[in-house]
A and B are shown apart, each in its own frame.
Chain A
Amino acid sequence: MVESIKLPAKIEHVESFMHFVRDYARDEGFSSQRIDKIELAIEEALVNICRYAYSEVKGDMEMICRTDTDKRLIIDIVDAGEPFNVLMVSEPDLAADIEDREIGGLGVLFIRKMVDDIQYRRRNNKNILTLILRHR
């Protein structure tokens, strides 16, 4: 079954999306360990949209959840903000000490590490980030 949620891209709405994806993944039989990973990836992706894609103009963010024939969870996250490809963001320097450690960059690292596959495309002036998770 395909389920979706769409709300204005504001930090205060991020938790609604997390509840939504948690319920969806639970209904599809994903383990709580897998759901932890999904939630983290979703929070990081949505916060990036609120902060960067819509830094100038305001708009909506939408999440569409479905499963494919291999029972993988496919999550499309769509926004109409500035082009923002998380796959192009360079990894933070993980070897730096407290003084030199950058505050940013970790969110994208978590998105990449939490999911099995990640795809980005820009279509009709929209960013579409697809996160794919197996049951494991």
Chain B
Amino acid sequence: MEVKTRKVKDVIIVSVAGRMGEVTAPEFEETMKEFIEEGDTRFIVNLKELEYISSAGLRSILATAKILKEKNGQIVLAGLTGAVKEVFEISQFVSIFKIFNTPEDALSEI
């Protein structure tokens, strides 16, 4: 798994590539925690390059969302495809997160 981040105004765009499973998901959560501790509260998570996600990956995204909710922050998702999209649909995570086609679409909306 590779996590890349960039900042556009006050929004952090987090791009996750590769595989997000039991072993790698904590790394994502840790990255997000560091930003939140620095005071960032608005995030776009771009999953376009993500090939695989398990319940551990969903758990780390949900845990981050719960922290942000308390801080009146926001986390939205972009770029869901293939097997990753299917996992989000089965778990009904598609109904608890705002999902955009691209990070650019998300930027203009949040």
Residue numbers of A with Cβ under 8 A of B are: 11-12, 14-15, 18, 33, 36-37, 39-40, 43-44, 47, 94-99, 101, 103-104, 106-107, 109-110, 113
Contact = CB atoms under 8 A, between A and B. Distances in A.
Nearest to B63: A103
B101 interface: no
Contact of B69 (A47, A98, A110, A113): A98
24 contacts: A12-B23, A14-B21, A33-B83, A36-B83, A39-B52, A40-B83, A43-B54, A43-B56, A44-B54, A44-B55, A94-B91, A94-B92, A97-B96, A99-B66, A101-B62, A101-B96, A103-B63, A104-B59, A106-B58, A107-B54, A109-B55, A109-B90, A110-B54, A110-B90
B87 A110 contact: yes
A37 B83 contact: yes
Nearest to A43: B54
B105 interface: no
Contacts of A103: 59, 62-63
A40 B87 contact: yes
Interface of B: 21-23, 52, 54-56, 58-59, 62-63, 65-66, 69, 82-83, 87, 90-92, 95-96
A18 B23 CA distance: 12
Counting from the closest, the 9 A-B pairs by CB-CB distance are A94-B92, A106-B55, A36-B83, A107-B55, A43-B54, A98-B65, A47-B22, A113-B90, A103-B59
Contacts of B91: 94, 106, 109-110
Nearest to A40: B54
Contacts of B54: 40, 43-44, 47, 107, 110
B83 A98 contact: no
Given A12-B23, A43-B21, A99 B52 contact: no
